[in-house]
A and B are shown apart, each in its own frame.
Chain A
């Protein structure tokens, strides 16, 4: 037992912050891709498109039913043995891919629930003015579902930011990977991991603040 080395911790912060852009970049890329994929999956599920609906269900079942770490290993270490064009896949790409597929499975179900929760009269009103199914989805249903789904989707985004730390198991030096290296050379494991924990915490808190602002904005139309 030794006293907390505060000088070391303070010095470590700027070193680790250099890796923050990579961590946030992977999370942002994963989130953007996951949003697009999950919207597509949700619309397929809601519209009950024959064939595609079953495929979407299978996809969601698999990626919700297996651990993210297993999926990452499968993509990074496993798939290149199987599909030769993936030999050059790097850890960052594999992480973004894994995060996208894994989280889109969860997000699709949230978005689907949000869509089915929108009052049926909204669809009928859109139909009554002659909008097509696609127009109704894009202009009436999805914008309203977004508001309903936003709190949940933000929670997934927060989870995704923290999950980027698994990238270090694929040899990516991001926030967690960098901390691991710093700790291994200084032997100050407690200080190092405490610093990285605090960094993640601050990021998540900042995001929660943005989330509250965003929800307020989205609720503007519903104020009496």
Chain B
């Protein structure tokens, strides 16, 4: 179970997250949507302390952390219970696809290199990139790099995988393969929080869609409800705008 209570983050005088409460059950898939600069990415980055929240409480699995009192063991504990998929992939540039996936198993879990590589190979098969095991990131397409990024997150066996706009940096031709892999994970009941502008993905995959604006959660509902019958005027105007932009993909 994941629970956020009153998560607050300020950059100087600007309040980016204004007391966010959110919880999800194991296996649940949440898609976070909302205008740019509204704190969606910051919210994800606060869950694993890539950004340090200013106030609030975080629960991931069996670990509850009171943010202001968080010590470095707590932060490490949160990070080891979560996995993160970056917008720009952020693969380790000096490591092969296989090594990128195996790194956590070796360093954090203490597996032998042979064991870690054997497990990483299984993950490469699941993501359909077994033939790229020895390729370095620079030699891979954006779509392949992001799938390795997702593979690295899968290797963590985390309570939750946090996806920070995983397809936003991709050329359009690579978007589908990444979304397909995420759907495959969803079908396997992987708990995930996805920040994305892919409304079609949200409709198809999300158990719950969260609409954020101005550092707050404005409303949250199953996609069938939120997309067809949004309650708040801000949600309605946002959806009108993005659905008009995305017209061909919405049926």
Contact = CB atoms under 8 A, between A and B. Distances in A.
A144 B90 contact: no
A64 interface: no
Contacts of B93: 122, 144, 221-222
A131 interface: yes
Nearest to B152: A129
Contacts, number: 71
Given A128-B79, A129-B79, A222 B138 contact: yes
Query: Taking chain A's interface residues, is the majority helix, strand, or loop, or is none over half, making it mixed?
Result: helix
Contacts of A135: 107
Contacts of B80: 130
Contacts of B86: 121, 124-125, 128
B139 A125 contact: no
Contacts of A124: 50, 84, 86, 90
Contacts of B14: none
Nearest to A147: B94
Nearest to B96: A221
A129 B108 contact: yes
User: Size range of the interface on B?
Assistant: 20 to 34
14 contacts: A121-B90, A122-B93, A127-B48, A127-B79, A129-B83, A130-B104, A131-B104, A132-B76, A140-B94, A220-B136, A221-B94, A221-B137, A222-B136, A224-B138
Interface residues of A, number: 22
Contacts of B84: 124-125, 128
Interface in A130-177: 130-132, 135, 139-140, 143-144, 147
Contacts of B50: 124, 127-128
Given A122-B92, A122-B93, A125-B152, 7 more contacts: A124-B50, A124-B84, A128-B50, A128-B79, A131-B108, A147-B94, A221-B93
Interface in B50-96: 50, 76, 79-80, 82-84, 86, 88, 90-96
